[in-house]
């Protein structure tokens, strides 16, 4: 702050126009002039450009209260991928964390691709406590159900 010869403080100078310049809009605009919505990278595998009819989708709904549920979903997904090495899979947990899962839930569903309906192959909602009963002990049951869904012609699923 400047001090005048008399010792009094001077107020800061104002701009000539007295108003601020409007900021330029930097967002890209769509056809109607609105901002474009960002593309959800989780769903890019399902659009027309990236669609793969051979990409099977494994959907798991699991409770968030205990990390064991998330670990088991990863383990089951790895076992499914190992049982069908010639097939590609994508794991979706709790609808990419947009779904609020039910308390104590552990459900595994499979669909042939992202555009076909999912079929429930395991549900641990009605099972337990104890918690270990919510998870499948014999993964052969799940692999067999997935084999039926992926190969409806009657081809047998490989055994673990």
Which is higher by pLDDT, 69 or 2? 69
> Where do the domains of the chain lie, and which CATH numbers do they carry?
41-150 (3.40.30.10)
Of the candidates 62, 53, 79, 71, which has an alpha carbon nearest to the alpha carbon of residue 139? 79
Task: Spell out a b/e string for 4-21, using b for 16 or more CB atoms within 10 Å of the CB, else e.
Answer: eeeeeeeeeeeeeeeeee
- Would the pTM count as exceeding 0.75? no
Give the list of residues 6+ apart from residue 106 with CB closer than 8 angstroms, or none: 60, 61, 62, 63, 69, 72, 73, 122, 123, 124, 125, 134, 135
Of the candidates 56, 64, 85, which has an alpha carbon nearest to the alpha carbon of residue 160? 85
So what's the pLDDT on residue 36? 59
Q: Calculate mean pLDDT across residues 72-99.
A: 86
Indicate the SS3 state at residue 98: coil
* Burial tier of 97 (Cβ tally within 10 Å: 0-12, 13-18, 19+): exposed
pLDDT at 42 over 60: no
């Amino acid at each position: 702050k400047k001090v005048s010869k008399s010792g009094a403080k001077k107020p800061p100078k104002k701009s000539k126009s007295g108003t601020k310049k409007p900021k330029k809009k930097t967002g890209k605009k769509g056809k109607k002039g609105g901002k474009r919505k960002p593309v959800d990278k989780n769903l890019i595998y399902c659009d027309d450009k990236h669609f793969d009819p051979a990409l099977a989708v494994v959907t798991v709904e699991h409770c968030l209260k205990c990390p064991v549920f998330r670990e088991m979903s990863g383990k089951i997904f790895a076992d499914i991928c190992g049982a069908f090495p010639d097939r590609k899979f994508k794991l979706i947990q709790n609808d990419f964390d947009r779904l609020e899962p039910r308390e104590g839930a552990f459900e595994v569903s499979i669909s042939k691709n992202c555009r076909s309906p999912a079929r429930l192959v395991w549900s641990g909602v009605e099972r337990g406590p104890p918690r270990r009963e919510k998870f499948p002990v014999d993964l052969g049951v799940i692999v067999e159900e997935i084999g039926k869904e992926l190969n409806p012609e009657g081809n047998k699923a490989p055994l673990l």
